[in-house]
Structure formats: structure tokens, C-alpha cells
Amino acid sequence: MKKIDVKTGQSSYSIYIGAGILAQTGEKLKELGLRDKAVIITNPTVNKLYGAVVKQSLRDAGFKTAVLAVPDGEEYKTLESAGKLYEQLAEWGAEKSTAILALGGGVIGDLAGFVAATYMRGVPLVQIPTTLLAQCDSSIGGKTAVDYKQLKNEIGTFYQPKMTISDVTTLKSLPEKEFIGGLAEVIKHAVIKDEQFFSYLEQNLDRLKPLDNNVLEAVVAKSARIKVAFVEKDEKDMGLRNILNFGHTVGHAVESVSQFRVAHGQGVSIGMTAAAGIAVRMELMDQSDAVRLEKLLAKAGLPTKLPQMDVQQVMRAMRYDKKVQGGKIRFVLPRTIGQVFITDDVSLAVIEKVLGEMI
Ligand SMILES: NC(=O)c1ccc[n+]([C@@H]2O[C@H](COP(=O)([O-])OP(=O)(O)OC[C@H]3O[C@@H](n4cnc5c(N)ncnc54)[C@H](O)[C@@H]3O)[C@@H](O)[C@H]2O)c1
């Protein structure tokens, strides 16, 4: 098992990453000084797979416990779901000291995190991420949110957990498309910060696909550490964390133009390829590095070409994005594998040309 200590402005906590550690949940909660009651917030898909083991471990450690399940899907990451959860928590008798355990992917992590941050002005939160994206990315950094009307993550708050338990064996039941989507964020972390990790992925991706526990543990831990480093320096997302948006400028636009038929990770993969293409065209990065990135993405099963869509529509979608400031489209561009920078100085003509070549 690996342990990562996270220190932010007002809190410090540990992320545990290992195989089969869900069964230690109750004991670990007790070690933190939590006792009496703990509520698991999850969805029916994850509950069926992992609810029982977490519940049993809580019971064995002497907790009174309940499972509150929200239907599966981003469309339930809403204030309405939060409202129902507040009612259920109150009915069940959840108190200020009752821990909320977010058991699931990023949707549950964001929603349960938001509920934990706001119920009784904040109760202890434990993240138990069960997707690759959640273990490497969304459970780290304290961002909690619900969607509002068509706006993603419109209402939310920063709220750090008391602990995170990432059991890599849960990833074995993940649908392949979800796993591959999560790999995009893992590769993103390597490109923005760590060339050695990128090389490790080049050499070990084949072993990651059959889901070797040791490789999984190493990859989740390495990836999580990179995100932690950014979060520790910029807890409230005031600047440095923007680097984590590598691949997201074009990625979000592609997702939205495809009406979300292109999933997030797949969009980020296309976006990273585009950013690398732009950097090469602007003579900021060697072509050989862009080829390396494209090869690794393809090896992971991720797309590196634009799907059938109008480049002009993608350009328009980018202009509407949150990352546009003063009419300029903000990009995170790579200089090399392991180093990126933020710029507003990419001409529209270059973006258009690169996207045109990616069809
Ligand atoms: N807070 C942040 O910093 C942050 C960062 C990135 C993304 N997000 C959010 O994360 C969400 C996406 O998260 P996600 O990709 O994990 O999607 P998700 O939570 O929808 O999970 C994907 C699917 O996998 C299922 N699932 C989860 N764990 C499983 C397992 N172990 N075995 C089998 N099935 C399993 C889920 O029920 C769901 O159907 C979005 O709402 C996004 O906004 C938040």
C-alpha cells in the first residue's frame, strides 16, 4: 500500500492507494478519531459491487451505518439530488460528527463531497474513488460541485476530505471505455510534469491493460502525486492549477460539439494531440515529442484524430469556453514531454490549421 500525505492551507490528510484496502475502511476511520456513525453515499452500480465490503468493514469497526444511493449518471449530479440526500441524512439522524463516505466515480465524489461540505455547515468527508479518473484526478484537490441547468459544476465549493482510500482492485470491474478515458488524465499528468513517468507508461501500458495490481498501484500513486503537487501550491485554483487543463481547451470543445458522444477522456486525448500539434507548428516543441505523445495515446486506445465534425464549430465552441479571457483562447502547450506552459498567444489561424490536419 502507498500513502501520500497532502497538505493544503487549512488541512492535511492522507491518500491510501492499494489492493484490497476497502476492507480497512472502518479501521482507518477509527484511526482518524471518527466514531459512532458513518453514511455511504454511492450509486446502485457501485453499491452492488462494493457497498457490502465497505459497510461490513464499518460495522466491524463499531459504526452504525447506512447506504444512500443516488441513481447512476451525471444527470443526477444536481441540487435536487443534494436536497434528497440532506433529507435522508436528517431522517437517519446524521450528526455534525457523522462521516460521509463518497463511494464511486467522479460524479459521486463531486456530489457527496458537496453534500458533506454543506450539510450542517460541513461534516467529515472520506473519498473512496472507484474509477481511474476519480483515483488519479477528481478525488484530489477538494473541488466539489453539482451541475445547474445545463452548466457543469456551476455550484460548488472547495472541501478537502479527511482521508482518501483508493482500492485499485475496484478498477477491474470498470467498463473498458471508462478505464481508457481515465488513462487520458494519467498521460496528461505525465506530460505536464514527469518525463520519467511518461517513459514508465510507454514501457508498462501493456501490463496496465490486463490490470496488474502492482502496476496499477504505481500508476495511480504517481499520477495522484502529480495532481497533489499542483493542488498543494494552488488549493483554490487561482493560477497554477490551470496547467492541469492541458488538453482541455480543444477537448471540451470537441465534447460539446459532439453533444457529449465523445467522452471526456477521449476529448482530452484529442485536445492533447492538438496542443502538441500547435506547439510543433509554433516551433516550440520537437516533432519527435509530439509523435511520442500520439503513440502513447494510441497505444492506450485513445483517439488522436478529430471525429467527423466541422472545424469552425469547434473553433466557435472554444471561444465560448471558460478558458477564454479577453477574446483570446488560452492554451496549455507542451515544450517537451514533462514540461508545459500557459499561453494566450496562439493565433486562430494556427489552431484552425492544426485541427484541419487532424481530421
Ligand atoms: N472534482 C474534480 O476535481 C473533478 C475533476 C475531473 C472530473 N470531475 C467530475 O467527475 C465526473 C466524471 O467522473 P467519472 O469519469 O469517474 O464518471 P462516473 O462517476 O460517472 O463513473 C463512470 C461510470 O462507472 C461506474 N463505476 C464507477 N466505479 C465503478 C467500478 N469500480 N466498477 C464498475 N463501474 C463503476 C459508475 O457507476 C458510472 O456508470 C464528472 O462529473 C466530472 O465533472 C471532477
* Confidence at residue 322, expressed as pLDDT on a 0 to 100 scale: 61
| Cβ of 134 below 6 Å from ligand 1 | yes
d(CA 94, CA 6) in angstroms, rounded, equals 27
| Cβ of 132 below 6 Å from ligand 1 | no
Nearest residue by C-alpha to atom 36 in ligand 1: 105
**Residue to mutate, 110, 127, 157, ligand 1, most ligand atoms under 8 Å from C-beta:** 110
Q: How confident is the model at residue 208 (pLDDT cuts 50, 70, 90)?
A: confident
d(CA 287, CA 268) in angstroms, rounded, equals 20
Residue (of 276, 273, 249, 269) closest to 344 by Cα position:
249
| Cβ of 147 below 6 Å from ligand 1 | no
In the numeric block, the cell 488519479 is attached to 136
Distance from Cα 146 to the centre of ligand 1, integer Å: 13
Residue (of 227, 246, 245) closest to 235 by Cα position:
227
* Confidence at residue 142, expressed as pLDDT on a 0 to 100 scale: 97
pTM above 0.95, yes or no: yes
* Confidence at residue 319, expressed as pLDDT on a 0 to 100 scale: 85
Over residues 245-301, the pLDDT tens digits come to 999 999 999 999 999 999 999 999 999 999 999 999 999 999 999 999 999 999 999
Which atom of ligand 1 is closest in space to residue 264's alpha carbon? 15
> Rounded mean pLDDT of 104-129?
98
* Stretch among 158-167, 189-198, 326-335 having the lowest mean pLDDT: 326-335
CB atoms within 10 A of CB 151: 8
Residue (of 306, 211, 313, 324) closest to 267 by Cα position:
306
- Whether 325 shows a pLDDT value over 70: the answer reads no
Over residues 232-245, the pLDDT tens digits come to 999 999 999 999 99
| Cβ of 131 below 6 Å from ligand 1 | yes
* Confidence at residue 323, expressed as pLDDT on a 0 to 100 scale: 61
d(CA 126, CA 62) in angstroms, rounded, equals 17
Nearest residue by C-alpha to atom 13 in ligand 1: 106
User: Quick check: helix, strand or coil at residue 342?
Assistant: strand
* Confidence at residue 156, expressed as pLDDT on a 0 to 100 scale: 97
- Whether 134 shows a pLDDT value over 70: the answer reads yes
* Confidence at residue 320, expressed as pLDDT on a 0 to 100 scale: 80
- Whether 117 shows a pLDDT value over 70: the answer reads yes
Over residues 67-101, the pLDDT tens digits come to 999 999 999 999 999 999 999 999 999 999 999 99
